[in-house]
Amino acid sequence: MAALIVVFSTHAADSAETFIVPRHSPGGFEAKMEYCQDCHGPSGQGYRGFFPIPRLAGQQPEYFENQLRAFVERRRPNNVMANVAHVLSPAMTTALARHFQALDPEPLGGGPKGLAAAGRQIFEDGIPDANVAACAACHGPDARGSGQFPRLAGQLYPYVVKTLTNWGQERGQIPTNQDTSAIMQPVAHSLNKAQIDAVAAYVSSLR
């Protein structure tokens, strides 16, 4: 008999649903996880290549699941991820989210160390003159996120740079179906390249 993974999801009404996900079937958890790891790395650490692929390890499950829905709904355009997410059941999505949250590999690093101090100041204090709030206000003082707010600690430097630079083209593409990405739009727009590089260098160095 194939092994099973059981995932519990608690809802606001204090009820619980039990999801049973086949682990070893061709469409089961192990197969889906291995498919994810082909791009995101065996420990979910991400991939620092020509196209940087984000770290999933330690990511907040609520954020993880919301982003998969965003790919399907085209709030976040990415043809590859839209096809991947489209075939995942709610149970499988929850199982994958919990799996990657539990991983904690060393950050890949690679960000310019000389920029980290400036990035830390922006992360902790914001940029008052530009009306930019502290990153820590939403992402937490340790940059590990909470709920809908993603973990940034250990995220790949080039991925953070790319994401902040292209925020207006990569997130919140359906104005009538917004999510927490709308909060970041004015923040990303207000950061110049040097500030984006500094923030990315800082968070990429965190464990």
**pLDDT tens, residue by residue, 82-141:** 999 999 999 999 999 999 999 999 999 889 999 999 999 999 999 999 999 999 999 999
Instruction: Quote the CA–CA distance of 156 and 169 in Å, as a whole number.
Output: 20
Query: Residue 55: its pLDDT value, please?
Result: 98
43 CB-near residues (< 8 Å, 6+ apart): 57, 103, 105
Please tell me the CATH code under which domain 4-101 is placed.
Answer: 1.10.760.10
Query: Residue 23: its pLDDT value, please?
Result: 52
- Give the confidence band of 144 by pLDDT, cuts at 50, 70, 90: very high
Report which of 55, 150, 169, 60 is spatially closest to residue 110, judged by C-alpha positions: 55
Query: Residue 2: its pLDDT value, please?
Result: 41
Classify domain 113-204 at the CATH superfamily level: Cytochrome c-like domain (1.10.760.10)
Q: What is the pLDDT of residues 1-12, one digit of tens each?
A: 444 444 444 343
What are the boundaries of each domain within the chain?
4-101, 113-204
Does 4-101 match 113-204 in CATH topology? yes
- State the Cα angle at 101 between 97 and 102, rounded to 5°: 125
Q: What is the pLDDT of residues 48-67, one digit of tens each?
A: 988 999 999 999 999 999 99
Q: What is the pLDDT of residues 151-203, one digit of tens each?
A: 999 999 999 999 999 998 888 777 777 778 888 999 999 999 999 999 999 99
Query: Residue 26: its pLDDT value, please?
Result: 53
Q: What tokens were used for 164?
A: 């902040």
19 or 42: which leads in pLDDT: 42
What is the residue-averaged pLDDT of the chain? 88
Q: What is the pLDDT of residues 30-52, one digit of tens each?
A: 999 999 999 999 999 999 988 99
Beta-bridge mates of residue 16: 10
pTM assigned to the model: 0.85
Decide the pairing of beta strands 16-22 and 4-10.
antiparallel
Query: Residue 174: its pLDDT value, please?
Result: 76
